[in-house]
Amino acid sequence: MSRSSRVSDAGAALACLILCFLLASTFAAADLASRRALRANVATSSAMIAPKPPYCTTQWNMTSFIGPHSFVEWQGNFTGGTVYAFGADLAVEGTDEPVEGVFMLGSCTVLAARGEADVDALCTVQIVSPIGQVAAQGVMRSAQGREWALAITGGTGTYRGVQGEAAGTTQEAGRRIALEVTVAREMC
């Protein structure tokens, strides 16, 4: 092989090496840019994820309101010993915007009645949500401004084994309560 042929082959090899290096650098830069764009999209997507619904957190602040699940049923006079059942839709506190799939059902036995708007009753309550139910019981007081607390006695679904308290304040006798449910752990 002649010297000019070897120089030409070495030049071609060098040119190929430079071209390969340039291509590799270009692909590496493009890959780095793609990875940065992907990280930026993931960060943006994470920031856009909707907050957890209230029934997934350790504390729910909700308000009852008259909606599709609302009722109060009893027979006879509203006196000591009267048993009644009720249902109420629940909204995020301060709104009448229902939390989809969340409502409260219960049954109570009247302990003391000082008129229909001022009743103390021993109640068993189910707070129903899309991920399960929370069971609570205790004395509820219907007089406006009265505070009361129910012990959370258990749950179903995701709430299995849950413990905590459902504290309430009657805002409008027989029609509206503010409810703060506190459980020992996040549910979702």
Q: Nearest 5 degrees, angle CA 33-CA 45-CA 183?
A: 145
pLDDT at 175: 66
Model confidence pTM above 0.85:
no
**pLDDT tens, position by position, for the chain (188 residues)?**
554 444 444 444 333 333 333 333 333 343 444 445 444 444 444 445 677 787 888 888 888 877 888 888 877 777 899 999 999 888 888 777 788 899 999 999 999 988 777 889 999 999 999 999 999 999 998 888 889 999 999 999 999 989 899 998 888 766 677 888 888 777 77
Q: Where are the beta strands (DSSP E) in the chain?
A: 59-65, 71-74, 83-92, 98-113, 119-129, 132-141, 147-155, 164-172, 176-183
Residue with tokens 């040119």: 15
pLDDT at 66: 78
The answer to whether the CB of 125 falls within 8 A of the CB of 148 is: no
